[in-house]
Every structure is written in structure tokens, then in C-alpha cells.
Amino acid sequence: MSDKLKSVKESHEYKEFVKLSELGLVLPNKICGNENCKNFESEMEPDLRKREKNAKNLILNWRCRTCRVYNSVYAGSFFSLFRKPVKIILAVIKCWAAQISATKAKSVINLNLEHQLTEAMILGVYARLRQICTLAVDKQNLKLGGSGKVVEIDESLYCKVKHWKGKDLKRRPVWVFGLVERADGESSGRTYMQIVKDREAQTLLSIIYDKCESGSIIFSDCWASYNKIAMFKNFTHKTVNHSVNFLDPNNGACTNRIESLWRACKQKFKEMNGCKRVYIQSYIDEFIWRFNNNVTTDRIACYNLILREISKFYRPGISLNEFEEKVLSENRTSFEEDELSNENFETCSSSGSTSENEVNAEDIFSEFCVVYRRMKTIQLQ
């Protein structure tokens, strides 16, 4: 081994790369793809160089010794989406794992790593991580409850229409329907939440039917849409009347767990002062992912897990289009563009206000399609 190669392999950059390749985040080697090269299809060597003369950071490349073709070892990986040194992107992911806001992350990273990150760049990484969560939650196969197990269900208003006139006529309330298992000896309980177009029986029952295993015991409030739950899949249905008490003294039903989840989930929106409507489901997906994997309060476990999820769902070599198609199909109902999609909303702290029952909420799913398409065109830095 030449001295130069030896020093490359001892560098911090190379060791970092090896660690990430062991996690499956980047390919561990590369062969020369130059057909005119004598060493066509033989392995390339790692090589460290500066992008330009005065650049601060060294870039780790694969380089062919014969034809001297080279490109970044991170080409085609998740990291190549952000045009920043890998150690910076990893620092951003650490901040995300610790649930640090983009504003704070920016000052922490710029101070400690002497870099000039913008908030937009950090938000770009955060948005990609939420897309990973959307895929990792595996909504299709996520089933809750089971014989004799308790599942609490509830609906919650995420986006309220303040005055039902003027500009607000165009706005639509956003209802989220949620289910959560009670913790038992085997598990600490998982959750599932999704935006619903309305709170009609058909809408809610079809989700309950799909998400709850046969024989589950379902606790809910007295919302009329739930009346027919016990007709399906051997479900037992118990209700608690919130206008009277929060724990039904006769049947033991209560929905404290789902309500505390609403508070926790909405806290994030509050800290952000609301967010664009299109992002609501992706933040909810992130919440579900953290909760179901039990990493909500453990930033190190969260960081390690999200790296593993990235290697699974953004495996090196996947095309960005293919990735986004998958994310989109997880949250798709319609493809239509919607001009309201960029509108900000304020979260409601109260859950289940029924004053707007008569509002016939339109389908807002189309909004999700818009954001994922737009993300393709967002220039990160």
C-alpha cells in the first residue's frame, strides 16, 4: 500500500465513511466504469482532495489509479441530497433525533462546527427524515390491539377555522383520527394517526376495521360515528361520556392515553407556531415513528435507529424519484394540485370541539402530493 493510500485510510474522513458503509448508508466500494480504461471494472481507491484550492473540507472520493476518474464516495447516497460535508449532515440528524428546532440547530452547528448553515438547509434535512419516517412506519402493515387488548380511539381538531366567513371560507378544518394501544406486559403500546376528510361513521369505522385486530376492546367517547363498532371483527366497544366524567365508573372505559398523545403531538406544532398544512401528516408520521419505536425521549437510540431506517429506505443508488414515489404512495389519495396547500394554520390545543360539525370538510389529501412534488424542486443551498 502506498504511503498516500495509507494516510487516506487513517484519516477521520475515511473512518467515518467506513462506519457509514457498515451501516449500509453508502456502498463500501466502487469499480471503474470507464470502458476505455485498462482497469475497467476493477476496484477504485479512496482518495482525499479539496474541491477547490481554498476549500476548508477534504472530500473523500473513489479514484481509479489508471484512468484517474474520480467521484465522491457519497454519490447516490442519502447524504448526496444536501451538498454539505457528511459530518455536518450527521450533526443535523443528531439535532433532529434530539428534537431540537431548526433555529436552535443552526446556531449550535454553526458555533461548534464553524459552518454557515441556513435554516432552510436544516429544514430540508428534517423534511427528508420525516419522509423516511413515513415509509418506516409501514402504515399498511401496522395493526393494533388483538384479542382482549385495549385500543383507545379519538378524533382531534388540528386546524380550526376561526370565523366561518370571508377568507376563512376557503380554509378547511383538519381532523386527525388516532388510535393507541394500552401498554401491557409485552409492549409499551403503539399508535396510529391519520388525517381524515370527515368524521363520518364510514370514514372512521373503515380505519378502525383496518387497523384493529379482531377481538380488540375499543374505548372511545360517545361520538355517534362509533355506534356500530361492536358489529365488526368481534370488537368489544366501551364508551366514556366526557360531558359527565373522564373514566366511566361502570365499564372502566377512559381515553386518557390517546388524549395525552394528542397533547404531545400538538406540542410540536405549537413550538413551530403552526406549520404549512401540507406538512401536517408528515409531522404526525414522525411522531408515530418515534412513539412506536420507543425513541421519543432517547436521542441516541433515535439517532442510531434513523440511520438504520435511512439505509433501508434510501439505500445507496436509489433514485430520488423512486424514493419520492414511494413516500407519495403512502399518503396518496388524489393527485390534484391545491393552491391552499401553502397556507399556514394554527393548531388547536383543545381536542374534539364539535362546534364545526356541520362544516363539510373537503378532501385535503391532494395537498400532500403537492408538497412532495415541490420538494423535488427545492434548491437546498
Spatial contact of 89 and 82, defined as CB atoms under 8 Å apart: yes
Among 20, 25, 32, 327, binds Zn ion (CB under 5 A): 32
Question: Between residues 32 and 95, which has the closer beta carbon with respect to Zn ion?
Answer: 32
Site for Zn ion in 239-298 (CB under 5 A): none
- Least Å distance between CB 62 and Zn ion? 10
Decide if 123 contacts 130 (C-beta within 8 A): no
Nearer to Zn ion, 31 or 300 (CB): 31
CB of 35 to Zn ion, least distance (A): 9
Closest CB 33 distance from Zn ion, rounded Å: 8
Which range binds Zn ion by CB under 5 A, 36-44, 141-149, 220-228, 301-309?
36-44
Residue 39 beta carbon to Zn ion: minimum distance, rounded to whole angstroms: 5
Shortest distance in whole angstroms from residue 61 CB to Zn ion: 13
Q: Which is nearer to Zn ion, 66 or 99 (CB)?
A: 66
Q: Give the nearer residue to Zn ion in terms of CB position, either 34 or 99.
A: 34
Compute how many residues bind Zn ion; rule: CB under 5 A: 7
Q: Is 37 in the site for Zn ion (CB under 5 A)?
A: yes
Q: What angle do CA 179, 209, 194 make, to 5 degrees?
A: 40
Greatest Cα pair distance, the chain, in angstroms, is 83
Using alpha carbons, select from 224, 172, 181 the residue that is nearest to residue 202. 224
SS3 content of the chain, % helix, strand, coil (to 5): 45, 15, 45
Question: Among residues 66 and 304, whose Cβ is nearest to Zn ion?
Answer: 66
Tell the burial category of 29 from Cβ atoms under 10 Å away from its Cβ (0-12, 13-18, 19+).
exposed
**CB-wise, 39 or 236, nearer to Zn ion?**
39
29 in Cβ contact with 44 (< 8 Å)? yes
Task: Please count the other Cβ atoms lying within 10 Å of the Cβ belonging to residue 218.
Answer: 24
What does each C-alpha distance from 190 to 153, 286, 291 come to in angstroms?
12, 13, 7
* 150-159 β-sheet, strand order: 191-196, 174-181, 150-159, 217-220, 236-239
CB of residue 50 vs Zn ion: minimum separation in angstroms? Answer: 22
Distance CA 49, CA 34 (A): 21
Q: How far is the CB of 11 from Zn ion (least distance, A)?
A: 23
Fill in the per-residue mask, 50 to 79: x = in contact with Zn ion (CB under 5 A), - = not in contact: --------------x-xx------------
The minimum distance between CB 65 and Zn ion, in angstroms, equals: 8
* Three-state DSSP state, 212: strand
Q: Please, which residue, 37 or 201, has the CB nearer to Zn ion?
A: 37
Q: How big is the chain by its Cα radius of gyration, in Å?
A: 24
Supply angle C-alpha 355, 361, 364, rounded to 5: 135
| Selected range binding Zn ion among 3-11, 25-33, 114-122, 279-287, rule: CB under 5 A | 25-33
Binding mask 151-180 for Zn ion (x = CB under 5 A): ------------------------------
Pick 39 or 80: Cβ nearer Zn ion: 39
In the bound complex, what is the minimum distance in angstroms from residue 1's beta carbon to Zn ion? Answer: 19
Nearer to Zn ion, 37 or 98 (CB): 37
- What lies within 8 Å, CB to CB, of 101 at 6+ separation is 271, 272
The residues that touch Zn ion, with contacts defined as CB under 5 A, are 32, 34, 37, 39, 64, 66-67
